[in-house]
Structure 1
């Protein structure tokens, strides 16, 4: 049985509805600040620290001008809340010294450069997670969620 790690701290999902440490990257979906119908898929590779940000249909972020954009900063901020500083730093293979408080500080420690990464895999994983919210409430176990901890009765 796979253990589910609870978030380091509760986080709000409006700005960054999806963040994960997967596929050798810190990656996730970040809402646009100017268009409610647009989202960005942002990522930072572990080890190389290559970063990328684009819309869900692979249009590059206009804020990537030789440095990480505000979407990457928001992603890093939420990753620190979700997973904690130590886990994120260990995953990205970066030494944070005495620690850090913000995604901006984390990104300043990275030595990567912009490198295109396809957004489709991360975005489709996000959409799959959203689909679970549309399921009717039931007590029957969903096979694909058998690893998820039970809540409610008996706790």
Structure 2
């Protein structure tokens, strides 16, 4: 017989979240993901509280991209990773662990090296709008009241079955 408490999460509108490897500082990098063949996310500006950057590193090619949410290029990205990309990579390692991030980006990281120093890609503009839009959508979910009732925007999630 299956424990009812063990399967209770299947009857609610929330999903189990894999906990981060270590605690992250969400004020600096509020959104980080391994998606669309890139490590990508939103990084707060160090100089302007109203500005954010969408930064990404492509898997395989290690192409670097960083621009503001309205597609203005980052002034610090000159063929080598800017501070926004470094912050993104550091937070991704905290969230997912160095092994998972390195495997996703297809990069070998020496035991005494950091992730960014192991990259060998150049600058290549990547789309910022979809990443920023997904970040805003995630923020909107934080404003929803706690409930076990279905959330209409998430109706496409399976109601039963195993989680991959």
Same fold (TM over 0.5): yes
Distance 2:112 2:42 in 1: 25
Alignment: residue pair count: 143
CA contact (8 A) 1:46 1:93 kept: yes
Poorly superposed stretches of 4+, deviation over 4 Å: 1-4
The two structures, once aligned, show a CA RMSD in angstroms of: 2.0
2:64 equivalent to 1:55: no
> In the alignment, what sits opposite 2:39?
26
> In the alignment, what sits opposite 1:42?
55
CA-CA distance at 1:95 after TM superposition: 0.9
Higher Rg: 2
CA-CA distance at 1:69 after TM superposition: 0.3
Structure 2 gaps, min length 5: 1-9, 159-164
Distance 2:112 2:140 in 1: 36
CA-CA distance at 1:99 after TM superposition: 5.9
2:92 equivalent to 1:83: no
The C-alpha deviation readout for 1:79-113, integer Å capped at 9, x for no partner, is: 0000000000000001113264xxxx211111100
> In the alignment, what sits opposite 1:112?
121
Distance 2:30 2:17 in 1: 18
Structure 1 gaps, min length 5: 148-155
